Amino acid sequence: MRVVSGIQPTGNLHLGNYLGAIRNWVRMQDEMEDGAQCLFFLADLHAISQPHDPAELKRGTLEMAAALVACGIDPNRSILFNQAQVPAHAELQWLLAGTARMGWLNRMTQWKDKAGKNREGQSVALFTYPVLQAADVLLYQASHVPVGEDQKQHLELARDIAQKFNNDFGETFTLPEPIVPPQAARIMSLRDGSAKMSKSDASDMARINLADDADLVMQKVKKAKTDPEPLPSEVAGLADRAEALNLVTIYAALANESADAVLARFGGQGFGAFKPALGELLVETLRPISTRFTELLDDREALDAILAKGAARAREIGRPTLDAAYAALGL
């Protein structure tokens, strides 16, 4: 079993990124059987398909790498790297571009959504990046790829490309199977229960950042918007109380419990009791993460070394497949 998964190199990481994305990778790694392998990459090549700021991309890539390691991705067990350091991704993408059909890419709903009415004004990369995604997984003969609902179509495309290439030029690529990642929590803003927690929220008080220290975390929880009612004893009682539901959801996610289990303990109590308990749980969970995160960001050499080692291993694993693809095409 070989699992390959990529993540966008976003910066300004917050609790939503941790509970909604990063923690799933850590779990996947920790649940791997002996002999199975996880390759996790930062999709920096994908990032240039849309307007971007180079300095921000560089910073975001390093921040995401630091966050992944701080949150529990073990660079000795998993292979952690950024795409741009493994030229085979870009090379294989071109080799596969000869096989991918315009019609297939035209049908991609993400392309249609992102391009909207202004197709002519989009970068070529935005149109072809599902081919790069195919290269990302086919390069490593991935057996499994975790995909959310929005990525299913792109994995189908990768399989179609692999199948046509294998038919036209000889057996070269493994057809990867999708695995559905565990349902992740959706974390909302601390100031508005109808908006998701996001780095783009204007108020820093609306989110818990992975780099926040204990005092700031406690302060943010204390100031989080709530209502005057005590907590109900079942989650059904929070149907019209988005802010309260969000705080319970965060507690439940951190404690690895159901919201009902949390409410079985806190039902009947007000936020004067619940908020300090939530704050402490957050601090307890985030303290080692933010300490390690800050250390890694302050030690660029160590971080660069982790990524360089991951890239070297990725190049080694990908090499035979890239060579085989060149040879199959008569190159």
Footprint of ligand ADP (CB under 6 A)? 8, 10, 16-17, 19-21, 186-187, 196-200
Please, are residues 92 and 66 in contact by the beta-carbon 8 Å criterion?
no
225 labelled binding-site residue: no
Closest to ligand ADP by CB, 207 or 313: 207
Closest to ligand ADP by CB, 92 or 250: 250
Give bridge partners of residue 188 from the DSSP assignment. 196
Question: What secondary structure does DSSP assign to 220-279, as a single string?
Answer: HHHHS---SSPPPSSGGGGTT-HHHHHHHHHHHHHHT--HHHHHHHHTT--HHHHHHHHH
Check if 223 is active-site.
no
CB of 148 to ligand ADP, least distance (A): 8
258 labelled binding-site residue: no
How far apart (Å, rounded) are the C-alpha atoms in residues 132 and 129? 5
Q: Which residue has the closest beta carbon to ligand ADP? A: 20
In angstroms, how far apart are the furthest CA atoms of the chain?
A: 72
Closest to ligand ADP by CB, 78 or 99: 78
CB of 213 to ligand ADP, least distance (A): 20
Question: What secondary structure does DSSP assign to 280-315, as a single string?
Answer: HHHHHHHHHHHHHHHHHHH-HHHHHHHHHHHHHHHH
How far apart (Å, rounded) are the C-alpha atoms in residues 175 and 73? 26
Check if 196 is active-site.
yes
Check if 309 is active-site.
no
306 labelled binding-site residue: no
Q: Which residues are annotated as a binding site for ATP?
A: 8-10, 16-17, 148-150, 187, 196-200
Q: Which residues are annotated as a binding site?
A: 8-10, 16-17, 136, 148-150, 187, 196-200
Instruction: Report the catalytic residues.
Output: 114, 196, 199
